[in-house]
């Protein structure tokens, strides 16, 4: 996956000293890498959507029909809110180390403040917040680069087009009615 400036510009922090609000860092090999402020913004957008999904009342959950690629045009029924919450938790557990996952679980999922987390994990405040920033950066990158369906952009996860599906109407377009002789060509013949 290649990061572009148009993708990272809106997510970058304007006061960032590393990318100067542009969102990309250029490495020695002329390859571009997203700035850490962009990765943290991606994580926070995904985390906000996760909190929205789990705090919603269960009677408000909707069942959606998602099309599948293929000739038969079948679809699958699913609950996107529950699927997103499960993907968020499982991808996070898979990507983080054991200590990072404990911090993630206690601080982000269970909502413990930094004092309680530091006491429970026997860490000082500075190391705790450095670990939180590393977790946000690591998961922000994972959520964006996840294949085949990334968790970010969130709207594409919930409403995006199915990959590999093309319309059958693109191949054979049939006009609704026949063209009539009332166009410009017909007017020039009448006047001549």
Residue 55 lies in a domain: yes
pTM of the model: 0.74
Q: Is 148 helix (H, G, I), strand (E, B) or coil?
A: coil
CA angle 11, 51, 104 (to 5 degrees): 80
pLDDT tens per residue, range 5-44: 888 888 999 998 888 888 888 766 566 789 999 999 999 9
**The token pair that represents 93 in the structure block:** 């557990």
Q: Would 129 be classed as within a structural domain?
A: yes
Gap between the Cα atoms of 118 and 128, Å rounded: 7
φ and ψ of 56, to 5 deg: -70, 145
Query: Number of structural domains, the chain?
Result: 1
How do residues 109-145 score in pLDDT, each as one tens digit?
A: 999 999 999 999 999 999 999 999 999 999 999 999 9
Q: Where residue 125 sits, what CATH number does that domain have?
A: 1.20.140
Give the domain extent around 66.
5-159
> Is residue 166 in a domain?
no
């Amino acid at each position: 996956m290649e990061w572009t400036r148009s993708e990272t510009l809106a997510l970058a922090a304007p006061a960032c000293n590393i990318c100067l609000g542009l969102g990309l860092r250029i490495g020695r090999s002329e390859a571009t890498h997203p700035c850490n402020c962009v990765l943290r913004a991606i994580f926070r957008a995904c985390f906000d959507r996760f909190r929205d999904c789990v705090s919603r009342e269960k009677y408000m959950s909707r069942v959606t029909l998602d099309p599948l690629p293929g000739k038969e045009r079948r679809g699958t029924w699913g609950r996107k809110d529950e699927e997103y919450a499960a993907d968020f938790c499982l991808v996070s557990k898979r990507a983080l180390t054991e200590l990072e996952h404990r911090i993630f679980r206690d601080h982000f999922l269970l909502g413990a403040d930094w004092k309680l987390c530091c006491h429970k994990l026997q860490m000082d405040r500075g190391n705790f917040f450095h670990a939180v920033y590393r977790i946000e950066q690591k998961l922000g990158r994972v959520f964006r680069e996840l294949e085949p369906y990334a968790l970010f952009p969130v709207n594409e996860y919930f409403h995006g087009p199915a990959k590999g599906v093309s319309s059958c109407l693109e191949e054979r377009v049939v006009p609704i009615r026949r063209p009539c002789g009332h166009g410009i060509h017909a007017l020039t013949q009448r006047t001549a």
